[in-house]
Structure formats: C-alpha cells, structure tokens
Chains A and B, each alone.
Chain A
Amino acid sequence: MTNTTEPSDRLDVAEEQSAALEFTRFCELSAVPEGSKRARKINGTMVLVVHTKGKLYAVQNLCSHQDKFLHTGRVRNCRITCPLHGAQFDLATGKATCLPATKPIPTYEVRVVDDWVEVAV
C-alpha cells in the first residue's frame, strides 16, 4: 500500500502550518510598492521586505558574510546584492549565490492581510 496525501489533505496541512506561524504587521502594502524594499526590526530580528516581479519576499537584513545591512543592495532577478562586498542571495530561498558569502540568510513567510504586509519571524 502506498502512502498518499490527497490535495485537500495537503491544503489542510498548509493551512495548519500557516496558522501555527505567528505573523507580525510589518508595514502597509502601499509602503512597499513594486520595485522597492523596506527594512525594520521585528522581535529583535532585522527584517527586509522586498517587492519585486509582482511578489513580496522577506529575508534577514544582514549579510551572512560579515553581518552588514543588505537594504541598500541592488535587487535584480529576485536576488539581492550586499553593497559592501558583493555577496548575493536568492530572495526566495536565502541561498548565497556567489562569493564572498557561502552561508544562506534566513527567509520568512510573508502575507498580505487587509492591505498590511505581515511577516512571520
């Protein structure tokens, strides 16, 4: 017998997981229009929200290379570049895509509720 999960079951699981996450209001959606980014501290964590290519991403606002802020870095093709030494990270996965960084940065769930961007940190 194979162990399968029906799509409806998977949806329930996803909803449960989402419900289990604690989301915090980050900023109004209008404060991060397409092509922009915004940084703030949530529960002691430096968070950067990026709005690019029609999607919101939330990542740690610190480079994994030498702990410098990322928020003034260029975003292109859903990657952000550290302005100081040039490390680059995939906004969706947090993966370091080039040297000098070798470690990923944390990513966070992000959603929009009542025109507010909310992040689960």
Chain B
Amino acid sequence: MNIRVKFEKGEARCPDAPSTQEIIARDKVSAPDWVCSESYEFLGDEDISIDRYIDPAFAKKELQTLWKKTWQFACREEHIPEVGDYYVYDLEHYSFIITRVAENDIRAYYNACLHRGTKLRASGTEGCASEFRCPFHGWSWNIDGTSKNVVCDWDFPHVERKSMCLPQARVETLGGFVFVNMDENAPTLAEYIGADAMAHINKWKLEDRYIVAHVTKVIPANWKLTMEAFMEAYHVLETHPQVAPSNGDANSQYDTYGEHVNRFISTLGVVSPHLKGRISEQDVLDQFTVGDSSMLQGADRKLQEGETARQRMADMMRGMFEQATNTDLSAVSDSELLDCFSYTVFPNTFLFPGISLPMVYRFRPVKGDHRKCIYEVFFLRPVPKDGERPEPACEVRLEEHQSFTEAEGMDPGFGAILDQDTENLLLEQEGLEASAKPGLTLGNYQEIRIRHFEKTVEKYVFGK
C-alpha cells in the first residue's frame, strides 16, 4: 500500500533508500567537504508559467535583460594560450572577439568594425592575429584594441583616432574558463557566483584539465527547456532505463547556492531505489557506464563474495583512468571518481567536476529562433603528469538529424544517453505550445534546480 507520510513542504525525500550522503559516507576513500554538504531550500510550489519557453516576445526581453547582464562562459583559456590568440564567442546577434593581449590580460572586443560595422572575425572561428583588420576596407586595430590604421585617413578628419579603440565587454577567468559580461555595473564574477559555490569551484582545479572532445548540435527546443532536461535525475528511470540499474536516481541530492549556482549529486554504482530488490550487485557492475568507457576495457568485472559494485568501480576507475590518461588520482575520493556532479552556473553553463563524467555543457539560443538552441558538450581530462598540455580538441558540429554517437571523440554509450535526453525535447517544446495548462508543475525536491533557475530568469527579465 502506498502511504504518503506528512512532511513540511520540501522536506520529503525518497523513502526506504539511503541518502546520497549516506552512500558516500561508506566509501573507502572519503569525500571532501564540498561533496559532504547540503544546501537545499524550499522555494515555493506554484506552477512555472510556460510563456517563457514559447513566446518570442519573452526571448526578446531575455536578450535585452538577462543576456546583457550575466556572466557567460565564452571560451577556455587553453583556446587562447598565446598573445594574439583569439576565439569568437557569439550569443544571438551579439559577438565578441576574446583575445589574449598579454600573459595575464584577456579582453573581449565587440566584434564589429568601427567604420561600417563588418565583423572583424567570422562567427564560430578562432586563431591568432597580429592585428584585427577589417576585410572590407582594411581599417585595423592592434590586439590591445587601439586603432592601428585608417585607410585614407585624410578622408576622415572627423575621426578621433585615440578614441577609436575597440569597445570591450568585461572579462574574468575562473578555473581555466573565460567569462564575459556586457554589463559594466555587474558584480564581480566571484560575487556573482557567491562564496559557497566559489569555494567548491576553487577546489576542482579545472584549469588543470584540457578539452579532449567538443561536440555541438542544434536542439529543437527553447534554451531553458533544454537546460532543464539536465537539471534532475528524476527522468532517468523513464528516459535512460539502461542507466537506472547503476544510478541512485530518486535519491540524488539537490542543492542551491545564492541566485546563480545550483547542483545535484547523483551517485553511481548503486541501484536505483525504483529497482530495489530486483538488481544484484553484479548487475550494477555490469551496467556501469562512464563518459569514456574505452578506459575500462579489459577490466575484471566479476565481483567477489561480499564486495560491492560501487567500491569495485571506484578501485577500477582509479587504476585504469590513471593509466589511460597518465594522471595521478591518488588524492581523489571515490565519490569524485564515480559520481555525477552537475553544477549550473547561470545562465547557460553546466560544470561536471567528477572524473567519470567530466563534462561541461553550454547552451545558447539560436539567433532569431526561440524554439531552438545550440547545445555544446565539452569533455575535459586532467593534463598529463608530464605537464605537456595537449591542444584543445576541434569542435565537431552535428546536424540536427545526427546522433551524438556519430561525433568523433564521443563515447557511444554516453552519446546514446544524450540522444535520449534530447529526443524528448521537441516533444516537450511542441507539447507546451499545444497545452491547455498554462504552467509546469515541479517536484519540491528533485526539481528544485529548475525552480531556482527560473526564479533567477524572472529576476533578470522582470526585475523581480
């Protein structure tokens, strides 16, 4: 008989299952503080209005408010290691040239010639420049943004060269990521992220990782709807049935930090509470999937009497990943090796600091189409022990009809999971447009990240 126990709103947790913290506490190599903490807060239970996903006017408001005022991940420092290196970051019609002007000086120039507006560098490109020269009439700028040349300057006596510097957006770096913000009055990136989440991010040392794969695909759904598909493990049982036997989905942990960061911890190597009693420890081990399963080839997958799948997986991962990637993981806890840590940095970035699922996701609206977004998956790997940093992988751009499994560098098992995630989205976008119900209904705990995220959307769009 299904009995609902009365709890205060937001206090109920998956019944008859260990909590994420209880699972992690049993591990042989214990987890650090940032893993062993909780920060859930009940944020209300009213429906989320659907106009934000389906109304083009709402998307226009976002462009003028949210996107102009928030810190966005534009590129990795490894994309621009040397002075003069640049990377073009676009957000809808906005475009920036992110360039390294000196060893510790990175700038973001608005990507438009100050003569007649031609883009100085094409969208979606990167490279190295000794100057930024317009391909139309040849006006040029030094990499520090000062005017270098105005062709036929005798014809432009009204142009004050000293003030013809390329306009800039603000730039800050964190963990090897370059962030930009168009708002001169925005808080610093550290203030924006908040002290608690900053303490987590600083522990990860993501600056010591490099991009081993980068895959991009246009998804036929609003950017927020697409992001929210990745904010909970509630969907695992239905959407990823192959994962549920080795994932603590219904007992995952959800936390929020300030206005701009939230996370879940979803344990791996444990059976889903939905499948309790139906799955053996050996089944759990057999189902174990990681972001790059090639590293586990040849592993001994036969459990001994009394051995847990989770511990075997942690031990296996530690040895085989170290060998395959020439890295030292001796100081890394079992939880960090195995579990899925998913952090959202508002508005459009996911950071996964774990080792088994070491991704970064970025989401951006497609220009002029609120029903589509650009979804990017980066896989990061620790820089090898010998210190030589490999070049970041080239971006692989998939067509809308292609499977993630077709992308070079994508693990087939993980690519299939992303296909399952994204295949739902067209149906959700169209379903919202067809719906007679004006709002989304969210779970108080498992979907708190979505509520937290949407509250911040409202803050920027409506000034709430």
Bound pair: A and B? yes
Q: Which residues of A contact B (CB under 8 A)?
A: 65-66, 72-74, 76-77, 79, 81-86, 88, 98-100
Q: Do A99 and B125 contact each other (CB < 8 Å), given the known contacts A72-B130, A76-B391?
A: yes
Q: Give the shortest distance, in Å, between B167 (CB) and chain A (any CB).
A: 19
A98 touches B85 (CB 8 A): no
**Interface 1/0s, chain B 329-355, versus A by CB < 8 A?**
000000000000000000000000000
A83 touches B122 (CB 8 A): no
A98 touches B124 (CB 8 A): yes
Q: Which residues of A contact B126 (CB under 8 A)?
A: 81
**Interface 1/0s, chain B 392-420, versus A by CB < 8 A?**
01100000000000000000000000000
A98 touches B391 (CB 8 A): no
Q: Output the residue of B86, B131, B391 with the most chain A CB within 10 A.
A: B391
- A52: nearest chain-B partner, CB-CB: B391
Cα separation A84 to B123 with both chains bound (whole Å): 15
Of the A-B pairs whose beta carbons lie under 8 Å apart in the complex, a sample of 9, sorted by A's number, is A74-B127, A77-B391, A81-B126, A84-B129, A86-B121, A86-B127, A88-B125, A98-B124, A99-B123
- B129: nearest chain-A partner, CB-CB: A83
Q: Which residues of B contact A (CB under 8 A)?
A: 82, 85-86, 121-131, 133, 135, 391, 393-394
A98 touches B122 (CB 8 A): yes
A73 touches B128 (CB 8 A): yes
A86 touches B125 (CB 8 A): yes
B133 touches A77 (CB 8 A): no
B122 contact from A66, A84, A100, Cβ within 8 A: A100
Cα separation A76 to B85 with both chains bound (whole Å): 11
Q: Which residues of A contact B393 (CB under 8 A)?
A: 77
Q: Which residues of B contact A100 (CB under 8 A)?
A: 122, 135
Q: Do A85 and B133 contact each other (CB < 8 Å), given the known contacts A74-B127, A99-B125?
A: yes
Besides A81-B126, A81-B127, 15 more A-B contacts (Cβ < 8 Å) are: A73-B127, A73-B128, A74-B82, A74-B85, A82-B127, A83-B130, A84-B129, A85-B135, A86-B86, A86-B121, A86-B129, A98-B122, A98-B124, A99-B123, A100-B122
- B130: nearest chain-A partner, CB-CB: A83
Q: Give the shortest distance, in Å, between A92 (CB) and chain B (any CB).
A: 13
Q: Output the residue of B82, B121, B123, B129 with the most chain A CB within 10 A.
A: B129
Q: Which residues of A contact B124 (CB under 8 A)?
A: 98
Q: In terms of DSSP, what is the predominant structure of the interface of chain B? A: loop
Q: Which residues of B contact A88 (CB under 8 A)?
A: 125, 127
Q: Which residues of A contact B394 (CB under 8 A)?
A: 77, 79
A83 contact from B123, B128, B135, Cβ within 8 A: B128
- A84: nearest chain-B partner, CB-CB: B133
Q: Do A83 and B125 contact each other (CB < 8 Å), given the known contacts A74-B85, A76-B391, A100-B135?
A: no
- A75: nearest chain-B partner, CB-CB: B128
The 4 closest A-B CB pairs, nearest first, are A81-B127, A74-B128, A99-B122, A85-B135
Q: Give the shortest distance, in Å, between B125 (CB) and chain A (any CB).
A: 5
Q: Which residues of B contact A84 (CB under 8 A)?
A: 129, 131, 133, 135
Q: Which residues of B contact A79 (CB under 8 A)?
A: 394
Q: Which residues of B contact A73 (CB under 8 A)?
A: 127-128
Q: Which residues of A contact B125 (CB under 8 A)?
A: 81, 86, 88, 98-99
Cα separation A88 to B129 with both chains bound (whole Å): 12
Cα separation A3 to B280 with both chains bound (whole Å): 56
- A81: nearest chain-B partner, CB-CB: B127
B135 touches A66 (CB 8 A): yes
Q: Give the shortest distance, in Å, between A90 (CB) and chain B (any CB).
A: 10
Q: Give the shortest distance, in Å, between B96 (CB) and chain A (any CB).
A: 14
- B124: nearest chain-A partner, CB-CB: A98
Cα separation A73 to B128 with both chains bound (whole Å): 7
- A66: nearest chain-B partner, CB-CB: B135
